[in-house]
Amino acid sequence: MDSRAGLAATPGALPYYVAFSQLLGLTVVAMTGAWLGLYRGGIAWEGALQFNVHPLSMVIGLIFLQGDALLVYRVFRNETKRTTKVLHGLLHVFALVIALVGVVAVFDYHRKKGYADLYSLHSWCGLLVLVLYFVQWLVGLSFFLFPGASFSLRSRYRPQHVFFGAAIFLLSVGTALLGLKEALLFKLGAKYSTFEAEGVLANVLGLLLVGFGVTVLYILTRSDWKRPPQAEEQALSMDFKTLTEGDSPGSQ
Amino acid sequence: MDSRAGLAATPGALPYYVAFSQLLGLTVVAMTGAWLGLYRGGIAWEGALQFNVHPLSMVIGLIFLQGDALLVYRVFRNETKRTTKVLHGLLHVFALVIALVGVVAVFDYHRKKGYADLYSLHSWCGLLVLVLYFVQWLVGLSFFLFPGASFSLRSRYRPQHVFFGAAIFLLSVGTALLGLKEALLFKLGAKYSTFEAEGVLANVLGLLLVGFGVTVLYILTRSDWKRPPQAEEQALSMDFKTLTEGDSPGSQ
């Protein structure tokens, strides 16, 4: 490719796919807000509306921000590796913090109402996502952001980090679908089958969630869209596998 | 690698991962059967038990067989490309036929009971999966199994086929989770929150479905486990991109 020296050319179609993913992601967030506003009375931390903090926070944190964190390496192709890494890590921190607000909201709501916790498939999947997300973030931080890990160790861990990052993101999308379905069936019950407006809106929201997940996965996995190694990384990565100590290229 | 000529060495850990995926897949099928047998009265084509044909058929067809069809190229590494392709296509045909039996079962059951069709997120996702699955199978057949498509056309379509194959499989797993959740909430209702045995069993089944999906995806995407080109394919694929007519390598 012509990207080995100097600025890497951005693949022609990539910006359109990224723009489409952002349009989908923002639509999902807006539509979650619209659903809660139109059919669930809006959002508040106190009282019965506290529950509604949960879906909105989870969609912003574990769907939109987590998805965007995965795309950082595709979007920022000419910034230094360190800048891109910090942005990737920060987006994941924001995602985790916002998700934790959503988790606290639902546990607090359950406690006040005397509802049982963690009995449903949605909650089991959600707990799994949170634990895996936190572990992945910690391991990612210690391997890639701290200078301790050797170059060869990083190279061996990187594909695992990417795979599990994508898997956790997809599991987040699946968990959101389960939560949406649960919220619909609890409230609508048999009315769901009469094509109530809320049910149709929520189904469309579900399909858009799937669309966002698929689009992010497509951008992430298309091999000719991967971030090309930059000049200084390229020079350093030439058969340095035996150099098992020292900092990774590009993180000067 | 040392696999370019003659028999390709199977990567050391691959058989264990494949065995684990099969163990998970068979457990998912057995557990779906156990759930229907223990808590839903078993399976029959006539009467109220006709509904139960639906979850079992979909799990056998669109989860287990579809997942195994994706793994064919990883498992059969030394057979000719044509043999592997035919097996891949056949497994997808079996999957589709069994899934269609499951779809007919639920529509027939709904019709007899006077229930509405296609109102839920599960059914919308399911319809999407079926349409995409059928289109993917037809396009795959015309590109890869018939001799008409040129080598360069196949090379350009292959990554798209693999991506959408994985995406459709994952959407099938997500749709199964939604269906499971729907079946639980319809029957258990508020009892779901009291950790009823059926609810716990179904939650475990849901997590095993997720586990099967993740394991298949891991085997499929690990780059050093990809099927190496065989000797005759290797010889033919050397910069033959300009040769836009003719049969693909390996399908002699």
Give the angle B181-A57-A62 at the CA atoms, nearest 5°: 70
Strands (E), A112-186: none
Any B CB within 8 A of A167 CB: yes
Calpha distance A26→A23 (Å, rounded): 5
The DSSP symbol for B7 reads S
Per-residue pLDDT at A236: 52
Q: How far is CA B245 from the centre of its chain?
A: 32
State the smallest CA–CA distance between residue A191 and chain B in angstroms.
10
User: Any chain B CB within 8 A of the CB of A36?
Assistant: no
Interfacial A residues in 218-237 facing B (CB < 8 Å) = 218, 221-223
Q: Is residue A228 part of a domain?
A: no
Q: Name B171's Cβ contacts closer than 8 Å, sequence gap at least 6.
A: A210, A214, B125, B128, B129, B132
**How far B204 CA lies from chain A's nearest CA (Å)?**
8
- The tokens describing A24, both together, are 């989908």
Chain B partners of A128 at a C-beta cutoff of 8 Å? Answer: 207, 210
Q: In angstroms, how far is CA A211 from the centroid of its own chain?
A: 14
- The tokens of B211 are what? 């586990």
Q: What value does the mean pLDDT take over residues A26-52?
A: 97
Considering only CB atoms, which chain B residues are within 8 Å of A159? 222-223
- A9 pLDDT exceeds 70? yes
Tens digit of pLDDT for each residue in B223-252? 999 998 876 565 554 444 444 344 444 333
Our CA-based measurement puts residue A193 at a distance from the nearest CA of chain B, in whole angstroms, of 5
DSSP string of A74-94? HH--SS-HHHHHHHHHHHHHH
Cβ of A159 and B207 within 8 Å? no
For A111-134, the pLDDT digits (tens) are: 999 999 999 999 999 999 999 999
Q: At residue A55, does pLDDT exceed 80?
A: yes
According to the model, what pLDDT value does residue B245 have?
41
The pLDDT of residue A244 is above 70: no
Task: Tell me what ipTM this predicted complex has.
Answer: 0.90
> Does the pLDDT of residue A63 top 90, yes or no?
yes
Q: Which single residue is written with the structure tokens 């497509």? A: A218
> How many angstroms separate the CA atoms of B8 and B229, rounded?
9
Q: What percent of chain A has pLDDT over 90?
A: 80
Question: Is residue A237 situated within a structural domain?
Answer: no
The predicted structure's pLDDT at residue B103: 98
What are B233's two structure tokens?
């394919």
Two structure tokens written together for B219: 């085997």
B2 belongs to a structural domain: no
- For the four alpha carbons of A203, A204, A207 and A208, in that order, the dihedral sign comes to negative
Q: Which of A122, A163, A222 shows the shortest C-beta gap to B221?
A: A163
Closest Cα in chain A, distance from residue B119 (Å) = 5
What's the pLDDT at A145?
Answer: 82
Give the integer Cα–Cα distance in Å for A169 and A209. 12
In this structure, which long-range contacts are made by residues B228-231, counting pairs with CB atoms below 8 Å and at least 24 apart in sequence?
B228/B1, B228/B3, B228/B4, B228/B8, B228/B77, B229/B4, B230/B8, B230/B78, B230/B80, B230/B81, B231/B4, B231/B5, B231/B6
Contacts of B67 (CB under 8 A, 6+ apart): B21, B25, B169, B212, B213, B216
Distance CA B235, CA B5 (A): 10
Q: List the 146-165 stretch of B: residues with Cβ below 8 A of A.
A: 159, 163
Q: Å from B193 to nearest chain A CA?
A: 5
> Residue B139 to residues A91, B146, B154, B157, B160: CA-CA distances in angstroms?
38, 10, 11, 10, 11
**Span A22-32, mean pLDDT?**
98
Task: Closest CB to A192: pick one of B119, B206, B217.
Answer: B119
- Cα–Cα distance, B103 to B107 (Å, whole number): 6
| pLDDT value, residue B147 | 81
* Helix H or strand E segment including B199: helix B197-221
CB contacts, 8 Å: B167 with chain A: 214, 217-218
Q: What is the pLDDT averaged over residues A162-177? A: 98
Rounded to whole angstroms, the maximal C-alpha distance in chain B is 66
What residues of chain B lie within 8 A of the CB of A192, using their CB? 119-120
Answer whether residue A181 is part of any domain: yes
> B84: number of CA atoms within 13 Å, CB side?
18
**What pLDDT shows up at residue A242?**
40
Partner residue opposite B223 with nearest CB, options A116, A159, A167: A159
Residue B98 lies in a domain: yes
Residue B137 belongs to domain spanning: 14-223
Tokens of B147: 């001799």
**A199 and B CB contact within 8 Å:** yes
CB-closest option in B120, B207, B217 to A192: B120
CB B192 within 8 A of CB A116: no
Residue A69 inside a domain? The answer is yes
- Per-residue pLDDT of chain B (252 residues), as tens digits, is 444 445 668 898 999 999 999 999 999 999 999 999 999 999 999 999 999 999 999 999 999 999 999 999 999 998 999 999 999 999 999 999 999 999 999 999 999 999 999 999 999 999 999 999 999 999 999 998 888 888 899 999 999 999 999 999 999 999 999 999 999 999 998 899 999 999 999 999 999 999 999 999 999 999 999 998 876 565 554 444 444 344 444 333
| Structural domains counted in chain B | 1
* A207:B174 CB<8 A: no
Q: What is the mean pLDDT of residues A82-109?
A: 97
Distances (CA, A) of A142 to A95, A113, B129: 19, 40, 39
How close is the nearest chain A Cα to the Cα of B17, in Å?
15
By C-alpha distance, the chain B residue nearest A118 is B193
Q: What is the DSSP string of B41-96?
A: ----SSGGGGGGHHHHHHIIIIIIIHHHHHHHHHH--SS-HHHHHHHHHHHHHHHH
CATH assignment of the domain containing A59:
1.20.120.1770
Please count the other Cβ atoms lying within 10 Å of the Cβ belonging to residue B57: 22
User: For residue B227, which of B7, B17, B24, B63 has the smallest C-alpha distance?
Assistant: B7
